[in-house]
Amino acid sequence: MTDAYDGQDGARRQSEMDEQLRAEAAIEPDPPATAPPAKQTQIIAIYGKGGIGKSFTLANLSYMMAQQGKRVLLIGCDPKSDTTSLLFGGRSCPTIIETSSKKKAAGEQVKIGDVCFKRDGVFAMELGGPEVGRGCGGRGIIHGFELLEKLGFHDWGFDYVLLDFLGDVVCGGFGLPIARDMCQKVIVVGSNDLQSLYVANNVCSAVDYFRRMGGNVGVAGMVINKDDGTGEAQAFADAVGIPVLSAIPADEDIRRKSANYEIIGRPGGRWAGLFEALAEQVAEAPPVRPTPLSHDALLGLFKGDAVGRGVVLDPATTEDMCAARVIEKPSLEVIYEGA
C-alpha cells in the first residue's frame, strides 16, 4: 500500500513539474531593446608621482566637470588622504578606513553620509590608510574598495568616477584598477623631470602587462603639470604612444592660488579654458595600449648633464667595503677527485 501511495505521489509531483515547465516555455521573450543604451559611468584612474600635482589637477577638473552639469565622484586613494583637501579649502574629511574602524568598534554600520561629502556639485571621499608603521597602504586600498562595494558603489549614478592613485608605489593595492579592470582608462600626470616620467613609464608598463594578460584597461593620455616648456614630457608621451591631454603651465598665479587652497577651474576665470578643454579631453580620449620605454630609452629623453649619463659605474671591492686590507684565507671547500 505504501509503495503504491509513494508511486502516485511521485507521479503527481512529476506532472506538476511538467506543467510548470510548459508554462515557462509558453512565456514570450522580451522584445529586443530599441532605445539608445543608458550612459555608462566612466571610471578613470589617475596616477602620478607623489607631489606631482594629481590632487590639484583632479580637484579643479572635477569642479569644472560639475559646473558643466556632470555628476562627478572624486575618490582619494592615497594614504595621505589629501586628494580632497583643495576641493574643501584645506579641510580634511573623515576617511573610509578610519570611519569604518570607529563604527565597527561602536557596533554601528557605516552610512554614505559618514564618508561622502559635497561641494558645488562635486561628490568626494577619501579611502585613507593605516597609521604609519601599522599596516600596508595597498591592503588599505583593497579594504576601502570592499567597503565601497558594501555601500552600493556599483549602483551609484555618476557620469564620471575619478580615482586618485599614488603611482610610485608598486604593490598590488595601488594597481587594483588596472589589474582587475575596475576602470576603463588611466591618465598619468607628470612633468619635465626624470622621476615623474619614470613613474609614468611604470604605469604604462603595468597597463601593457595586464593587456597582455587579457585585461582591457588602456591609457587615455597624459597631463603635464608645471610645464616649463623644456619638452621632455611631450617627448615621453610621443615615444610611448599616448596623447597629451593638457599642459598646465608653471605659473606663479597657479602656484599661489593652489597653495592657498583656491579652485582655479571655475567657469569664467583666468584658467577656465584650460580645464574646460581638459574636461573634454578626459571625456573623449579613448584608452590605448602604450609602448613603455626601457630605462635607457627613458634616460635618452634628457640631456646628459641632467641625468649624468657620462658617469661610469665603478665596481666596489671587498677591500673598499671593509676599509682595510683583506687577508685572503684558504678555502675550506673539499674537492673530491673525479667530481
Residues acting as catalytic residues: 49, 54, 80, 168
Element (H, E) at 143: helix 137-150
Element (H, E) at 167: none
Residue 260, number of CB atoms within 10 A of its CB: 10
Angle at alpha carbon of residue 198, lines to 81 and 252, rounded to 5°: 60
Query: Measured between alpha carbons, how far is 153 from 161 in angstroms, rounded to an integer?
Result: 10
The candidate with the shortest Cα–Cα distance to 59, out of 124, 148, 156, 129, is 124
Q: What is the Cα Rg of the chain in Å?
A: 28
Contact 137, 165 (CB under 8 A): no
Give CA separation, 268 vs 55, 56, 64, 220, in Å.
Answer: 22, 19, 11, 27
Question: The C-alpha cell of 336 is what?
Answer: 673530491
Contact 77, 50 (CB under 8 A): no
Residue carrying the nine cell digits 588596472: 178
Those residues with Cβ within 8 angstroms of residue 228's Cβ, 6 or more apart along the chain or in another chain = 192, 250
Q: CA dihedral in degrees (215, 294, 245, 36; nearest 10)?
A: -20
Residue carrying the nine cell digits 610645464: 227
Dihedral sign computed on CA atoms, order 83, 84, 90, 95: negative
